[in-house]
Structure 1
Amino acid sequence: MTRLLVVEDDPQLVRALVITLQARGYGVDAAPDGTTALRIAAARRPDAVLLDLGLPDMDGTDVLRALRGWTGAPVLVISARRASGEKVAALDAGADDYITKPFSMDELLARLRAAVRRTETPALTPDTVLVTTDEFTVDLAAKKASRAGRDIRLTPTEWQLLEILVRNPGRLVTQRRLLQDVWGVTAGNKTNYLRVYMAQLRRKLEADPSHPRHLITEPGMGYRFEE
């Protein structure tokens, strides 16, 4: 049984989440504040955490950083905070996903299933050479990509973006990280760079660039590579 920890101080929302999640076969613990959450997490070792940021005793990002000190379990932030800066801060602190309130329970369940599934998929090992999808292949050793057996010419910048995403399969890579890793620390807010280069990558690699299957945008947050 997959065990979840719900960290939320709204009792009505907690009740709705517990009933829904238990009905889907999850084991659920709940904590109304950060201190209780960290105690329960250490004792119960949850497989995933649903974390509100507005807790009565500490900010949720502090709970997140504390969890990331010892566990790699996926953490899905559920918060009423909609500012992109808040989202980026949570993702940079180690969140796997960010869901704004109010949300549909079906969306939450789908994102939870995806997060848990990703933890069951082995990460790339340092000696991984080929990453293959049904549309293209990425050769990390040769630093090239191909479609239908034909090499695709990528610019150095396109390759850098693609390599970062491919080396983190299924994980959301924030806009800030991509910008800083590819263009440097001074480019932290140049999100238009990312839109341009990601569009170019999709045109070269995706069968239907307007409906990408592998190079996915998470609006306002970043990008994700799905095999």
Structure 2
Amino acid sequence: MPTVLIIDDDERLTGPMRFLLEAQGFAVLVAGDGAAGLRAVIDERPDVVLLDIMLPAMDGWQVCQEIRRFSQVPIIMLSALGMELDRIRGLELGADDYLTKPFASQELIAHIRSILRRVQWDTARAPDSRLVIGRVRLDLAARRAYKGDVELALRHKEYELLSLLMQQAGSVLTREQLFSQIWGTDWMGDTRTLDVHIRWLRQKIEDDPSAPQYIQTVRNVGYRFAGAREAT
């Protein structure tokens, strides 16, 4: 039975959400502030976190950052803030998804189940293996990336994107495939966020980002990571 942790101080919302989720077969935990939410992530190890932004003392942005310091648990941010910049900010801080209040109950359930399916798919991909292409190395079990002997400081989405590209090295991944796997099929944000993440990755792994050796652009299609024989 998957466990969902709700971090939200609005009991008018958390009560109905608990009832809805339990009726769908989830175990539910509720934390009324950021500090309690962080303790619950550490102690209870939930499968999914539903994180409100407007929290007392420590807001959802800060809580998301703190969770990402020690856990890769999937995070769905919930907020009445509907601005596109707020959505992008949440994803850049490490959230996996973002829902704007008010949302339909079945929409919430669909997002949770979609994330759980992606986690199961990731787990099935030989999590103890390591990938080495040229001087770039991924430790999939530890979720760490290296260039040579230097560990790379990657944002959550940067790591996810690099991992996906390297696991399909030599093959072209379309923009649609990348968005579906990294941001979800329901992503409605600025599609340029993919190009921004590619630029950030190139700055970290390429010797010359303006002439990339590893992450190659396939014009009008998408991107590919160089195959093992291409990278030196």
TM bin (shorter chain)? 0.5 to 0.7
Q: CA deviation at 1:57?
A: 1.4
Indicate if the aligned counterparts of 1:7 and 1:37 stay in contact, CA closer than 8 A. yes
Residue 9 and residue 183 in structure 1: after superposition, are their counterparts in 2 closer, same or farther (change >3 A)?
same
- The 1:84/1:40 distance shift into structure 2, 3 A limit, reads same
Counterparts of 1:127 and 1:89 in 2: how far apart (Å)? 30
Partner residue in 2 for 1:59: 59
Q: Give the deviation of 1:171 after TM superposition.
A: 2.2
Q: What pairs up with 1:115-194 in 2 under 5 angstroms?
A: 115-122=115-122, 127=131, 140-141=168-169, 143-145=170-172, 162=175, 165=178, 170-172=181-183, 175=191, 177-182=193-198
What pairs up with 1:17-166 in 2 under 5 angstroms? 17-122=17-122, 127=131, 140-141=168-169, 143-145=170-172, 162=175, 165=178
Supply the AA of the counterpart residue of 2:69. G
Shift of 1:140: 4.1
How far residue 12 of structure 1 moved from its aligned partner, in angstroms, is 1.0
* Post-superposition offset of 1:162: 4.2
User: Any stretches of 5+ residues in structure 1 without a counterpart?
Assistant: 130-138, 146-158, 186-196, 203-227
Q: TM-score, normalised by structure 1?
A: 0.63
Give the C-alpha shift of residue 11 in structure 1.
0.6
Letter in 2 for 1:63: V
Q: Distance in 2 between matches of 1:182 and 1:164?
A: 14
Q: How many residues align?
A: 166
Rate the CA distance shift 1:66–1:184 in 2: closer, same or farther, 3 A: closer
Q: Provide the C-alpha distance between the structure 1 equivalents of 2:6 and 2:132, rounded to a whole number of angstroms.
A: 36
User: Quick one: distance in 2 between partners of 1:169 and 1:83?
Assistant: 22
C-alpha contact 1:140 1:163 (8 A) present in aligned 2: no
Displacement after TM superposition at 1:184 (Å): 6.9
Contact 1:33 1:56 in 2 (8 A): yes
Deviation per residue, 1:4-52 (Å, 9 max, x gap): 1001111111000000111111111101110111112111111100010
Q: Is the CA contact (8 Å cut-off) linking 1:7 and 1:34 kept in structure 2?
A: yes
Structure 2 counterpart SS, 1:51: strand
CA distance in 1, matches of 2:200, 2:76: 28
User: Is the contact between residue 88 and residue 176 of structure 1 (CA under 8 Å) also seen in structure 2?
Assistant: no
Shift of residue 93, structure 1, vs aligned partner:
0.5
1:20 maps to a residue whose letter is: L
Tell me the percent identity.
32
d(CA) in 1 for partners of 2:47, 2:132: 26
Query: What letter is aligned with 2:9?
Result: D
Q: Which amino acid aligns with 1:180?
A: V
CA 177–28 in structure 1, closer or farther in 2 if over 3 Å, else same: same
Q: Could you tell me which residue of structure 2 aligns to residue 225 of structure 1?
A: none
Distance in 1 between residues matched to 2:81 and 2:109, nearest whole Å:
20
Q: CA RMSD in A?
A: 3.5
> Structure 2: which 5+ residue stretches go unaligned?
134-166, 185-189, 202-216, 223-232
Partners in 2 of 1:57 and 1:43 — Cα distance? 21
